[in-house]
Amino acid sequence: MSWYLSYILIYFAFMFAMGVYYFFKIKTYDEYLIGSWNTGFWPIVGTIVSTWCGAAVFIGWVGMGFTVGMSGFFKFALPGILFCLLLIIAFAGPLRRQRLYTLADLFGERFGGRSGIIPSVLSAFIYSVPTLALQMVGMSTIFNITLGLEPNVGITLSFILILCFTILGGLPATIVTDAVQSIIIVIGIIILAITSVVYAGGFDTIIANTPFEMISPLGPEGLTEVLLYALSVGPFYLVWQSTWQRIFASKSEKVAKKAGITGFVIAGAISVLPFTIGVIARQYVPLDMNPDLLFSYVTAELLHPAIGGIVFIGLLAALMTGATSFILQGSSNLTRDLYQRLMKPDANNKQLMLTSRIAVVIISVLGLIVSYFVIDIASAYQWALRLTAAVLVFPFLAVMFWKKVTKHGVIWSMIIALIATIGWPFLEIELDHTVFGFLASIITLIVVSLLTSHDDTEQVRAVYWEDLDSASSEK
């Protein structure tokens, strides 16, 4: 325990030193939430890797590898990476040139008024809060294994540490610490993967003792199920505000693209490892073990505390950075989209800074409450992704590409898709959950837009094409 305690104390001493430093350095609301649109290449790469490798990766994906095999990578991780790369390659330029803060900002600029409320609420409460809760649960598991703390005590301690760091440093502290943490994360997961292979007797022994469906990309379900599962996960990453924040925080369009591509390629390579560890663990752990506890169990059992402590710190780093990113995402939504746009458009910098930190507390407390009810990490994460994607993906694409889309079309599309996705379990229809939500969204969007006129508050434009034309004319 002394090794673990020493590593944990050193890690949090470093984190809070950075938090305090940026608490006194940050002077404006822009700096606190978006890094003043001035962050360089390597910090953006580091924060992408660190944010991607949160509870879902280290805990949920090891557990998924244990239960369904390598098909989990092709159903969950790979689609997410590919859609993140699509967002970076296709949209980083137009989005970066808008100099926005949030996804809801895009809707507010295009349609005016209250059109950003639904995206903001979805981002802040349906995604940020439960995913923050997952990070707290993951941290409590680490504290239980390394320090012997009871789960509820560990969750409370996690909440305190996460909240204090986020209030102090905002996005600049998160991005700087992420650059360092990403190295620890990569080292930690590689150490555990290599150790698992050696402990299980090498690849030949592992392959010989593992059923084919656990190694096959299609798993036991087959191609159709893999594609449907991927569809329920991948499109969300077009509207994942954590990536949007990194695009906006980059100091230039070029940095946003190069750092984004580099970060997600690295993250994709890392994502193979937790599934591999989960498959290998079937060789030497009870098959009825709780999948969410597998990562911590394997680390504690296979590695000496001097080495295992590095792996645990890598996990803590991933969980901390994920937590702070999700809090700041929710805080941006509450501060920018609800407070500034709807309640106090003339708010000054001091008021916005105060509101941002109050919003950080609100999101953190809600995450703490939800964390006591989280049972299945992977399922909870997937549900948040599916709902957000069904409601926001087609409205986002319409804003970017379709000049004729109307405010009424977007708002009703989001409302109907939200109702359809939530109501699907009660309808007893054979159509896939995600497909049903997407169909409800796009049909409503097109039909209502064609039947209604543009509102007086709208800026009638297709953002992508207009921005592309502007960029070309500047050259």
Ordered by start, the domain boundaries in the chain are 2-377
Q: What is the pLDDT of residue 474?
A: 42
Lowest mean pLDDT among 132-141, 351-360, 369-378: 369-378
Cα three-residue angle 356-53-337, rounded to 5 degrees: 25
The partner residues of 39 in beta bridges, in order of sequence, read 250
pTM comes to 0.83
Q: What is the mean pLDDT of residues 32-54?
A: 76
Residue 475 pLDDT greater than 50, yes or no: no
The identity of residue 42, as a single letter, is W
CB 434 within 8 A of CB 231: yes
Lowest mean pLDDT among 62-76, 226-240, 369-383: 369-383
**Stronger pLDDT, 100 or 133, i.e. the higher one:** 133
* Residue % of the chain over a pLDDT of 90: 22
Residue 397 pLDDT greater than 90, yes or no: yes
Q: What is the pLDDT of residue 272?
A: 92
Lowest mean pLDDT among 111-120, 195-204, 267-276, 280-289: 111-120
Q: Where do the H-state alpha helices sit in 114-252?
A: 117-121, 129-147, 151-199, 203-209, 212-215, 223-233, 241-249
Residue 473 pLDDT greater than 50, yes or no: no
The identity of residue 354, as a single letter, is L
Q: What is the pLDDT of residue 375?
A: 61
Q: What is the pLDDT of residue 378?
A: 56
Q: What is the pLDDT of residue 377?
A: 56
**Stronger pLDDT, 215 or 57, i.e. the higher one:** 215
Residue 81 pLDDT greater than 80, yes or no: yes
Residue 223 pLDDT greater than 70, yes or no: yes
Residue 398 pLDDT greater than 80, yes or no: yes
**Stronger pLDDT, 453 or 130, i.e. the higher one:** 453
Question: Whose CA is closest to 136, among 291, 294, 368?
Answer: 368
Q: In degrees rounded to 5, what are phi and psi of residue 39? A: -95, 140
Look over the chain and give the mean of its residue pLDDT values, rounded to a whole number. Answer: 84
**Stronger pLDDT, 329 or 438, i.e. the higher one:** 438
Residue 472 pLDDT greater than 60, yes or no: no
Residue 442 pLDDT greater than 90, yes or no: yes
Q: What is the pLDDT of residue 233?
A: 82
Looking at the structure, give the CATH architecture of the domain made up of residues 2-377: Up-down Bundle (1.20)
Measured CA to CA, the distance from residue 131 to residue 322 in angstroms comes to 8
The partner residues of 184 in beta bridges, in order of sequence, read none
**Stronger pLDDT, 217 or 115, i.e. the higher one:** 217
CB 243 within 8 A of CB 260: yes
